Amino acid sequence: MEKLTVAVIFGSRSAEHDVSIITGISIIKALDLSGKYESVPIYIDKKGRWFSANELKDIALFSSGRIEGFLNKQKPILIKVGDGLQLMKQGLKPKLLNIDVVFPATHGTHGEDGELMGLLEMANIPYVGCDVPSSAIAMDKALAKIISQSQGILTSKFVWFYADEFNNSQKQIITRLKELKYPLFVKPVHLGSSIAISRVKDESELINAIEVAAHYDNKIIVEEAVNSLIEVTVPIVGNESLQLALVEQPLTTADNFFDFDTKYIRGGGKKSNGGGKQTGAQGYSKLPADLPKELYLLAENTAKDVYKAIGCSGIARIDLLIDSKAEKVYFNEINPLPGSLYAHNWREAGKSTVNLVSELVDLAKEKHQKKQRLQTVFDTNYLKQY
């Protein structure tokens, strides 16, 4: 059987550019190991130029800093979008390469937010993971909460507003925020990695925290803190029928909540020290989470409900905040593309990374085939009157 050509797209104009390189290359490795696919790396640099070359499969090219010099000698590729997607390498003899499936590995803006998925929809090509609306909703912490809430899923009480509204009528916004009980979390709705997030104890800290968030985003959410906090995250794979990995518990406290450093730098450098503790994309964690059986089940069911409410497909990871005293599970946020696919958790749950990527490619094809069966062409007499 002929091998499927799978293009893995990573990098892009995002604060999470570097993390995406790790995710992209880990996916390529697993696709190559499977022996079933011809993997094609597509790297979008920080300026937004698209490149493709076999050398881009090597993490050392990036970690050594040689990437700059390498790209200077390369010509960006051209992408042909029509019925399908083709990649064209520029040169004396331009070559067209047909892509069968795309595996997006871009985190954050200009990728995970649905923009890339829009291009892939236009090309009518199968691609792994969430579609345009679900990716876009996931990228907005307020929208994701509003939609989940409307489906009966619990979220902590929140108020959202535009930065402009705050700048123009601060008093009104502060009055609206009086309905919330301190401590509060102030967050830009579109960012990740705890950038510009503050925990505030009282009104004296509130304005400054909002100003910081408004510096980064045009939309802000302020929400009540969950007490007696146990944070968990639930990786899910599937289209209609869902598979869950283990409910994972990142080991942090409310005071020392995740920052970029904890997530990607300190955590990554430490070794797992046994006792169910793992180091993944998010540093130390307990796998599975240390929860009473009923709360564990409730977390699983809440995660499934969120996945469905937001309309995810392929893969996503749902972050939950648990009030361990009140035994309540609150939806916090959703990641359509978990860092490195959260492969460490799937492995622990019994799914190798090779099987994980193969299943994701199959799910992408299945979703695409199903969509082809929907009628998109309608014959009308409309034009005859002109």
Ligand X SMILES: Nc1ncnc2c1ncn2[C@@H]1O[C@H](COP(=O)(O)OP(=O)(O)O)[C@@H](O)[C@H]1O
Nearer residue to ligand X within complex by CB, 258 or 346: 258
Query: Exposed, middle or buried, 107 (CB in 10 Å: 0-12/13-18/19+)?
Result: buried
- Partner residues linked to 238 by β-bridges: 242, 314
The Cβ-side half-sphere exposure at 302, using a 13 Å CA radius, reads 28
**Least Å distance between CB 282 and ligand X?**
9
The rounded distance, in Å, linking the Cα atoms of 299 and 50 is 40
The rounded distance, in Å, linking the Cα atoms of 77 and 72 is 13
Phi, psi values for residue 341, rounded to 5°: 65, 10
Nearer residue to ligand X within complex by CB, 62 or 158: 158
Return the H-helix or E-strand segment holding 355.
helix 353-372
Nearer residue to ligand X within complex by CB, 100 or 248: 248
Nearer residue to ligand X within complex by CB, 12 or 332: 332
**Least Å distance between CB 221 and ligand X?**
9
Nearer residue to ligand X within complex by CB, 26 or 332: 332
**Least Å distance between CB 135 and ligand X?**
15
**Least Å distance between CB 138 and ligand X?**
11
**Least Å distance between CB 359 and ligand X?**
26
Nearer residue to ligand X within complex by CB, 217 or 359: 217
Q: Are 187 and 193 in contact (CB under 8 A)?
A: no
Q: Are 265 and 324 in contact (CB under 8 A)?
A: no
**Least Å distance between CB 59 and ligand X?**
25
- Partner residues linked to 37 by β-bridges: 4
Q: Report which residue's Cβ sits closest to ligand X.
A: 257
* Nearest residue to 278 via CA among 348, 229, 350: 348
- Contacts with ligand X by CB under 6 A lie at 156, 185, 187, 192-194, 197, 223, 225-226, 229, 231, 252, 254, 257-258, 319, 321, 332-333
The rounded distance, in Å, linking the Cα atoms of 51 and 43 is 5
- Strands across the sheet containing 84-89: 78-82, 84-89, 95-99
**Least Å distance between CB 322 and ligand X?**
10
Nearer residue to ligand X within complex by CB, 231 or 300: 231
